[in-house]
Amino acid sequence: MKPCFSVILLFGTTLFLLFQGCTARRTDSASIRVRWAHDPETIDPLQLTNQMALDAASLLHLSLMQIDLSTGEFAAALVEGPPTTRLLGDSLMQLSYRLRPGAQWDGGLPVLASDVAFTLRLMFCPGLPNETPRLRFNFIRRLIPDPADPRHFKLECRGQSPEYVQASGDFFILSEAALDPQHSLRRFSLADLQARPVSATPDTALEAVGRRYRNMPPDQLPGCGPYRLAAWEKDRYLTFRRKPRWWADRLRAAPFVLRARPVQLDFLIIPDATTASLALQRGELDVFPQVPAREFARLRTLPAAKAALAFYSRASYDVVTVAFNTRRPALADALTRRALSRCFDAAGLLQATQLGEGQRSVGIISPTDRRYYNDSLAPVPFDPAGAAALLHQAGWQRAADQSRGWFRPGPHGEREALQLRVRYRANESMFATIALQFQAAAAGLGIAVALQPTESGVLSETLRQGDFDLCIRTLKGNPFMFNFMPLLHSHAVGAGNITGFGTPASDRLLEAMEAANLPVHKAVLLRRFQAMMQTEAPMIPLFFLPTRIAADRRLRGLHVSGLKPGYTAAGIERLPTASVP
């Protein structure tokens, strides 16, 4: 039967080729292969929308100051040292930087203050996707170059917050010679560009620069970082190759942030965690960051995986929180919010979703931060009876037939009903578990809860519009900056303050915290802040997440830390098998 024969032949060839492919076991590849959960979409330094894009951009470009994961502090990268601060009057601050003498672009041209000025101007150039840097760096008023030294410059900031010191160095520097050889952007001052209205007549020079920037392919955007983008297959992989002659190699005592060991870095995009774990076990992957809790625990029990892999777990600064929309009449008073906070079984959820790793907290400041964590407060317990008592205290009464829910008379005489809608990002099983547990506990009390998993794109918009009652989300933090004004200040309502919370007392406390210089003073204020948060409860912290990384045992130099991304890609080196204990 001819058709059957050809089919058999086809199958036979397929099987033969399959064997070739399947027998690839632990390959000693020269490159370090890291797993990413999804494509970075764009690695434009002006438009970094997710952590992966940030990681990619930090391999290709350098900023003035960068986070050093080995110490957990900001360290000088392109500049020689931390800036010197000078306060002018009571509203301005000057930060003085000096770029390293050896810093150069690939062609040999040095990195100068004019490049920094160009980058700042580019952030406010119309027609570019630079909406985020506009918001972040609006506090920089101008760059004052030094006529005597082209590498020395001063940044003048509007405001005197100590947070600006670290924020001012945290942007990637782009090359003026490559993007604007005619220096057409120099005609415009930074203040002009910042104040330029959207409806202004388009300027040909600005448009030309914008067009040139937008049309430049991502692998050709010049950067002074240690790697160049060798290949990028959307949704498949990105390959970075080390530049053979990088300027920082010639530095005698290169700081940690200017060291780059791997010759080639491959980031494989594997959305499914289970398949990524399988690839790790087979040796097709070297580093697997953000391992889910169960997969991590399972891998640790497998003997083959235990022998070949090393497992790291650190406390991170990401906290899972539940935010209340205090603009809703039902949630406007603190007693109701405190009552609802007792319906979350944080300890049980921590055990179920993170298998006990991670930490409970009294506020949104990590318990590992001994200086600022308020250990005299106790975390909110899971106490439905206490919640019912608090609801009674807040004036809620249960309806005559128990199934109708809780009611109370409103300020204008109408009847308020306690019916809640919970929003959270879809496709996250941790948020789904938390929401379901809250729904079950609330149903035990007789409160009707509706769950609304929302796609990430729609979620931020609905949060800003206030179209929610509770919102479960993860707040990403860091140990440097404790400026909670974008999160809880009444001026930020409609922007970052989705809870709508803001009393004069809390506003004063937040402003004082932003202005505080001395650590002692700051500690006192932060303790008061955590106590206030627990009393007012505009958002409840559930627990801090751990960061888990599983990697090939032979890799060194990962410097796993709680800070994002959790490991230093540029510091990894692979030891030969013989020398591994």
162-221: contacts with other proteins (CB under 8 A): 163-164, 166-167, 170, 197-198
Residue number, 176 or 266, with CB nearest to other proteins: 266
Tell me: does residue 419 bind other proteins (CB under 8 A). no
Tell me the residue length of the chain.
581
Residue number, 194 or 336, with CB nearest to other proteins: 194
In sequence order, what are the residues at sequence separation of 6 or more whose Cβ sits closer than 8 angstroms to the Cβ of residue 359? 315, 366, 367, 368, 543, 544
Kindly indicate which of the ranges 115-123, 393-401, 432-440, 515-523 contains the residues binding other proteins, using the contact rule CB under 8 A: 432-440
Tell me: does residue 1 bind other proteins (CB under 8 A). yes
Identify residues 73-112 at the interface with other proteins (CB under 8 A): none
User: Considering the complex, what minimum distance in angstroms separates the CB of residue 270 from other proteins?
Assistant: 5
Residue number, 110 or 446, with CB nearest to other proteins: 446
User: Considering the complex, what minimum distance in angstroms separates the CB of residue 148 from other proteins?
Assistant: 31
User: Considering the complex, what minimum distance in angstroms separates the CB of residue 414 from other proteins?
Assistant: 27
Tell me: does residue 20 bind other proteins (CB under 8 A). yes
Binding string, 108-127, against other proteins, x = CB under 8 A? ------------------xx
Residue number, 63 or 437, with CB nearest to other proteins: 437
Residue number, 27 or 84, with CB nearest to other proteins: 27
User: Considering the complex, what minimum distance in angstroms separates the CB of residue 512 from other proteins?
Assistant: 15
Please say whether the beta carbons of 239 and 264 come within 8 A.
yes
Closest CA to 97 of 48, 165, 181: 165
The only residue of 220, 301, 427, 579 in contact with other proteins, by rule CB under 8 A: 427
Identify residues 528-567 at the interface with other proteins (CB under 8 A): none
Tell me: does residue 365 bind other proteins (CB under 8 A). no
Tell me: does residue 68 bind other proteins (CB under 8 A). no
Secondary-structure percent of the chain, ordered helix, strand, coil, rounded to 5: 35, 25, 40
Tell me: does residue 134 bind other proteins (CB under 8 A). yes
Judging by beta carbons within 10 Å of its beta carbon (0-12, 13-18, 19+), is residue 268 exposed, middle or buried? middle
User: Considering the complex, what minimum distance in angstroms separates the CB of residue 52 from other proteins?
Assistant: 12
Tell me: does residue 413 bind other proteins (CB under 8 A). no
Closest CA to 160 of 96, 109, 55, 87: 87
Tell me: does residue 312 bind other proteins (CB under 8 A). no
Residue number, 5 or 182, with CB nearest to other proteins: 5
Identify residues 473-492 at the interface with other proteins (CB under 8 A): 473, 475-478, 480-487, 489, 491-492
Q: How far apart are CA 429 and CA 453, in angstroms?
A: 11
Tell me: does residue 327 bind other proteins (CB under 8 A). no
Identify residues 252-291 at the interface with other proteins (CB under 8 A): 266, 268-272, 274-279, 281-282, 284
Q: How far apart are CA 437 and CA 555, in angstroms?
A: 40
Q: Dihedral sign, CA of 189, 190, 192, 197?
A: positive
Kindly indicate which of the ranges 2-10, 82-90, 501-509, 571-579 contains the residues binding other proteins, using the contact rule CB under 8 A: 2-10
Q: How far apart are CA 527 and CA 533, in angstroms?
A: 10
What are the beta bridge partners of residue 15? none
User: Considering the complex, what minimum distance in angstroms separates the CB of residue 525 from other proteins?
Assistant: 16
Residue number, 28 or 90, with CB nearest to other proteins: 28
Q: How far is CA 232 from the centre of its chain?
A: 23
User: Considering the complex, what minimum distance in angstroms separates the CB of residue 253 from other proteins?
Assistant: 28
Q: Take residue 443 and report the two structure tokens written for it.
A: 């149903």
Identify residues 340-359 at the interface with other proteins (CB under 8 A): 345, 348-349, 351-352
Residue number, 5 or 504, with CB nearest to other proteins: 5
DSSP E strands: which ranges in 212-368?
A: 227-233, 237-242, 264-269, 287-289, 309-324
Residue number, 161 or 534, with CB nearest to other proteins: 161
Closest CA to 222 of 40, 57, 52: 57
User: Considering the complex, what minimum distance in angstroms separates the CB of residue 403 from other proteins?
Assistant: 13
Q: How far apart are CA 488 and CA 491, in angstroms?
A: 9
**Strand pairing category for 264-269 and 32-36:** parallel
Residue number, 103 or 437, with CB nearest to other proteins: 437
What are the beta bridge partners of residue 149? none
Name the region of 419 (left: φ>0; alpha: ψ -120 to 50; beta: rest).
beta
Residue number, 50 or 104, with CB nearest to other proteins: 50
Residue number, 222 or 292, with CB nearest to other proteins: 292
The only residue of 86, 212, 234, 371 in contact with other proteins, by rule CB under 8 A: 234
DSSP E strands: which ranges in 129-187?
A: 140-145, 152-158
Residue number, 177 or 475, with CB nearest to other proteins: 475
How many CB atoms sit inside 10 A of residue 28's CB?
A: 9
Report, in angstroms and rounded to the nearest whole number, the Rg of the chain calculated over CA atoms: 27
Identify residues 23-62 at the interface with other proteins (CB under 8 A): 24, 27, 29, 31, 33, 41-42, 47-51
Q: Contacts with other proteins: how many residues (CB under 8 A)?
A: 112
Closest CA to 130 of 139, 143, 120, 140: 120
Kindly indicate which of the ranges 107-115, 334-342, 385-393, 452-460 contains the residues binding other proteins, using the contact rule CB under 8 A: 452-460
Tell me: does residue 371 bind other proteins (CB under 8 A). no
Q: In what order do the strands lie in the sheet with 152-158?
A: 84-88, 92-98, 152-158, 140-145
The only residue of 9, 17, 191, 505 in contact with other proteins, by rule CB under 8 A: 17
User: Considering the complex, what minimum distance in angstroms separates the CB of residue 42 from other proteins?
Assistant: 6
Q: Take residue 116 and report the two structure tokens written for it.
A: 């920094």
Omega of the bond prior to 565 within 30 degrees of 0, cis?
yes
Q: How far apart are CA 495 and CA 506, in angstroms?
A: 17
